[in-house]
Copies of this chain bind each other. A is one copy, B any other.
Amino acid sequence: MSDAAIGIFDSGIGGLTVMRALVARLPDEEFIYLGDTARLPYGTKSGDTVTRYAVQAAAALTKRKVKMLVVACNTVSAVALPALQEMFAPVPVVGVIVPGAEAAVTAAPKGPIAIIATEGTVKGGAYVRAIEDHGRSIPVIQQACSLFVSIAEEGLLDGGIAEAIARRYLDPLLAAVPKPKALVLGCTHFPALKTTIAKVAGPDIKLVDSAETTAKAVEKILREKNIKRAGGKKPSHTFLATDAPDRFARVGEIFLGQPIDPGSVELVDLQS
């Protein structure tokens, strides 16, 4: 069981930012990453559709005997986590929303906390609820930033266009009174735009990325269940995509922070 891989899934390639944090924190673990590139993006789709797609992705990973599931997609974490946890028990299923909310509360204990995310995540209100669950009354404001996904996938990470789009979304948040003290990057694509977002947000706002805290949450569960993989044996990293493995490898490098061999990305079908 300890030797089994950790399954990570996402609507596409953005979740590779979460895998990057996981690999850094848990270098001995094996990972199987599944990106549903044939049906991305999830962020503009309904909760029912996102849940249906997520169940198919999780089933494909549990068939490969993973010891844990990490939902790297904020939208899936926001709308489908309880359903996945119930359906795939006893395999632990970890999302990115609760770790992200915890990091935000740590960064700005009295708030206000600003959340930027996809349309689906914002509508679902999961970050707001997760912050409320801390039992304190912390002001939270949200903003959907749909274009951040497309410019990140296009590799348009900085420069005039990226900044103008960031200003369009962030200016209303920055004008809030009192001014937010923390800004949650509530979509796995957004850390790729961190430099631009930080420039527009200014030095007084802490940027909160759930990848780090999610990796911590995963490590904690591995320890509690005593299923950490022993060191010494070089771990494998497997990539699965539902479409266009070559594009996955090419664009995925932006998010994983290291090259991906196109030949190592396996094409899978979730619908059959």
Measured CB to CB, the residues of A under 8 A from B are: 37-39, 44-46, 49, 146-147, 149-151, 153-154, 156, 160-161, 164-165, 168, 242-244, 247, 271
Contact = CB atoms under 8 A, between A and B. Distances in A.
A151 B147 contact: yes
A163 to B, nearest CB: 10
A244 B44 contact: yes
Contacts of A161: 161, 164-165, 168
Contact of A39 (B38, B46, B160, B247): B38
B243 A49 contact: yes
- The 6 A-B pairs at the shortest CB distance, nearest first, are namely A150-B150, A46-B244, A49-B243, A161-B164, A39-B39, A45-B243
A46 to B, nearest CB: 5
A243 B46 contact: yes
| Best-surrounded residue of A37, A38, A160 (most CB of chain B within 10 A) | A38
A50 to B, nearest CB: 9
Contacts of A242: 49
A57 B164 CA distance: 38
Given A150-B150, A161-B161, A161-B164, A45 B49 contact: no
Contact of A244 (B45, B150, B243, B271): B45
B44 A38 contact: no
B156 A150 contact: no
A34 to B, nearest CB: 16
Contacts of A160: 164
Given A46-B244, A49-B243, A147-B147, 15 more contacts: A38-B39, A38-B45, A44-B244, A44-B247, A45-B244, A46-B243, A146-B153, A147-B151, A147-B154, A149-B150, A160-B164, A161-B161, A161-B164, A161-B168, A164-B164
Contacts of A153: 44, 146
Contacts of A243: 45-46, 49
